[in-house]
Amino acid sequence: MFRLALRTLRFRKGGFAASFIALFFGAAIVMACGGLMETGIRDAVPPQRLAGTPLVVASSQSYLERARVDAALTARIAAVPGVAKAVPDVTFPLSPLRDGAPVAGGEVSGHAWASAELTPYSLKEGTAPTGDGTVVLDEGVAAATGQGVGGTLDVAVGGKKQAFRVTGVASAASDNRAAFFTDADATRLHGKSGKVDAIAVLPSDGTSVADLQERLTAVIGDSELAVLAGDDRGRAEADGAVGGGDDLIALSAVFGGLAVMVAMFVVAGTLGLSVQQRHREMALLRAIGSTPGQLRRMILGETIVVAVLATALAYPLNLVLGEWLLEQLATAGVTSEAIAFRQGFIPVAAGVGISLLSATIAAFVAGRGAALTRPTEALAEASLQVKWFSWVRLTFALICLAGGTALSIVTALVMSGPVAASTAGPTAMLWASGLALLSPGITRVIIAVLRWPVRAVTGLSGYLAVMNSDARRVRVAGAITPVMLATGLATALIYLQTTSAGGGSGFADDLTADAAVTSQTGGVPLDLVSRIEGREGVGAVSALVDSTAVFRSGEDDDDSATALGVNGEGVQGTLGISPTSGSFADLTGSTVALTTDRAGALGYALGDNVQLRMGDGANVDARLVALYAGSGEETLLLPADLVAKHTTTGLASQILVGASEGTSEAALLTALRGLTSSDQDLRVGDRASLVSSGGGGGGEQTGAWVNYLLVGMILAYTVISLVNTLVIATGERRREFALQRLIGATHGQILRMVGVEAVLISLGGILLGALVSAMTLVPFAYAVYDSPWPSGPLWIYLAVIGGASGLTLLSTVLSTTYVLRTPPVEAAATIG
């Protein structure tokens, strides 16, 4: 029977092509998500600038900001037997300027010339920097800035413009976009006295790297530091690279799980429909003596051949897709750009296994009915399938619906805030699965409800369409299911994001500032606040320094929050937050303000010391001086200079300015632009641009973009399955259309009939999709802000149902037009 299965592939190209497409894209998406998860688990960061040194001493912890190393440790490391040289390394961001504007190509990293050998770099022309105000450029930076030996390079570093004379141009095996200064200039520009970012270790000749790594670990004796080797060395180069794969693991797990469910659903539906349309063929084989077992083996053989071919060809696509997704996620800030894509055997095996398992189960279930049906019954049922109910089917449907209901209740009553979104994907898929299993029965009800309106509007074509759909309701249900899946998932997943964004009470909702000063090169110096204060028309000023902090109280150190550095005197006039007790004016030195909810949950009262771990890993005890409400319990306010001291750049993301009483916004903007006109790097924005930027909550836009990207990928696969299914279903009716034409029906009449059928299918799918999305969104909206209505524009839903209806109609009409090209006598003679 296996040889027979191979031969049948030649004569069932359409059905097998549809199955191949579903398996091919499903396997590629599942393998790519698995690759992203393995990438997060391995957290591999291949070294670039530190590739020339076998060992690097750096922080062992994962922090948002760069954690530094005590510079005095360099001498201790150099004294360890087997160490030829210990080289301290500092890194600081800078932006090359041309005519006062940033040079295209992005940020450049600055270092001391002593660390150039760690790549290694070699001078291509000129000399090393030998005095204050001199620099050696990477050849890529030199080309981008147009500055060679003897030229003057303007840079923005530390929020200030400075000029350096170029003494040399260096080259390396890879372009790291670096600039090298004298040790004194590098220390000054780094701005972290007594600290370095890492210490590179060069072993002496004949020394084992592994043995030296063990000796150094013993000598250092600090759990906060690690001696890095191999790919781990790259972690010392990139901010946030250590443990940067955690978010990637969580994201790939959520969307990978959803992709697996969708892939299994689509593959099972496509293969099931492909096998169902061959009932007449199966019946004839049974009539000439084939046993049920032989038919099942033939169907399984055909399916395995197609599945193996599809998954094998999906492997190259999955590599491209996985690397592209990682690049997009890194660009959006979800993970470090330094993390390298890694995919081993397990994700590939998982993708292949899921695809083969889905295909095999679908083929077995679909083939079982055809194989066990009596030949005479099968011949009659082949043209008009009416049997669909079984107790097994009903049992699984009830399990899915019960599971979906349980998740809906848990979401609404147990969970709160955006975390409730974690149950959304499973809820939608369980409801979709349960409704799909019962869809033939539900379809009968839908047709009965729509029968008279459709016939009244569309006349004879509608009459034929309704009669056809009622008689073929099992096959129509198979076409309704992908429409339900596409509209239900699209509506649920997109509105989950808009509701989550709309339900959070962020700072952008409360802002009272009228203007903001930002920088083109990454940050604004804190001393600009004092320059703005007291100017005519200025009522309040506050810097915004974004970072994170972890509450160190108790045994759980995972209680993290957003740390927002502000100027206490200007908080009320810019952020629009009022204290419920205490005073924001006391936010100086080591102090903190918390929301009332967070303070109550942690047991803090005014005057208590709040133990924090800052973004760079440093421990700070801050006195609680104010409580406030309305800005989210995950945010705490600290003095701007305190937060800046524990960030990588030491700069503010922006400075908010509120107008004084009687000063118009236009007058304020004019005054601020006059103040900053001498610095082309600074930009002054009005309130509209300020609110659109979200104040201190820019991460929400990044998260939304990432979610839309991954959801769009899954929905694109769902749309492919929708078109796939409709084309198969239409191609199956070749003989039916031929008989209608032989008794006098015209092309136009048939096309109008299938057009009305497509409308019925669309309406049925939209109604069931609305139920799926409602059972997902209503509990989520209730969990987010105690309302049954999700937030988001209506046009999104209209676009979803309009797109699904258009695809359904277009796929049906075009495939019918193609089928009608075959002469009716020839088509009627074919075996369906």
Most confident of 227-231, 715-719, 781-785: 227-231
For residues 363 and 269, give the distance between their C-alpha atoms in angstroms, rounded to a whole number: 10
Q: How far apart are CA 5 and CA 306, in angstroms?
A: 11
* Paired sense of beta strands 538-551 and 178-181, if any: unpaired
Query: Does residue 648 carry a pLDDT above 90?
Result: no
Query: Nearest to residue 1, comparing CAs of 304, 298, 372?
Result: 298
Say whether pLDDT at 505 is over 50. no
pLDDT at 831: 46
Calculate mean pLDDT across residues 783-808.
88
pLDDT at residue 701 greater than cutoff 70: no
Contact by Cβ (8 Å): 510, 576: yes
Among 663, 31, 700, residue whose Cα is nearest residue 321 = 31
Q: What is the pLDDT of residues 713-738, one digit of tens each?
A: 777 877 887 887 788 778 778 888 88
Secondary structure (3-state) at 805? helix
| Whether the Cβ atoms of residue 477 and residue 759 lie closer than 8 Å to each other | no
Residue 370 or 637, more confident: 637
pLDDT at 699 exceeding the cut of 60 = no
Token code pair at residue 692: 């659109």
Which has the minimum average pLDDT: 367-381, 466-480, 817-831? Answer: 367-381
Q: Which residues contact residue 509 at a Cβ distance below 8 angstroms, ignoring those fewer than 6 apart?
A: none
Q: Rg of the chain's alpha carbons, rounded to an integer? A: 33
Of residues 420 and 327, more confidence is placed in: 327
Estimate the crossing angle of helix 246-276 against helix 699-731, to 10 degrees: 10
828 pLDDT band, cuts 50/70/90, is low
- Min mean pLDDT across 26-35, 119-128, 158-167, 220-229 is at 220-229
The answer, yes or no, to whether residue 829 has pLDDT greater than 80, is no
pLDDT at 630 over 50: yes
Per-residue pLDDT, averaged over 538-544, amounts to 93
Query: Which of 46-60, 248-262, 422-436 is most confident?
Result: 46-60
> pLDDT higher for 399 or 824?
399
Q: Across residues 517-538, what is the average pLDDT? A: 86
CB 157 within 8 A of CB 93: yes
Give the best-scoring range by mean pLDDT among 329-333, 571-575, 821-825.
571-575
In this prediction, residue 468 carries a pLDDT of 85
Instruction: For residue 696, name the pLDDT band (cuts at 50, 70, 90).
Output: very low
Higher pLDDT: 725 or 557? It is: 725
Residue 203 forms beta bridges with which residues? Answer: 83
- On average, the pLDDT of the chain sits at 83
pTM of the complete model: 0.75
What's the rounded mean pLDDT across residues 531-545?
90
Segment 238-264 mean pLDDT: 72
Torsion of CA 17, 20, 25, 29, to 10 degrees: 170
Distances (CA, A) of 4 to 16, 63, 783: 15, 61, 56
Q: Using CA atoms, how far apart are residues 801 and 722, in angstroms rounded to an integer?
A: 13
Q: Nearest-CA neighbor of 124 among 52, 200, 175, 53?
A: 175
How is residue 608 annotated by DSSP? P
Q: How far are the Cα atoms of 7, 30, 309, 348 from residue 305, in angstroms, in the given order?
A: 11, 20, 6, 18
pLDDT tens, residue by residue, 667-685: 988 888 887 766 667 888 8
Distance CA 472, CA 381 (A): 11
Given 3-state DSSP classes, what are the helix, strand and coil percentages for the chain, each rounded to the nearest 5? 55, 15, 25
Residue type, 693: S
Give the whole-angstrom CA distance, residue 486 versus residue 481: 9
* DSSP structural state of residue 149: T
State how far the Cα of 349 lies from the Cα of 750, in Å rounded to an integer.
Answer: 46
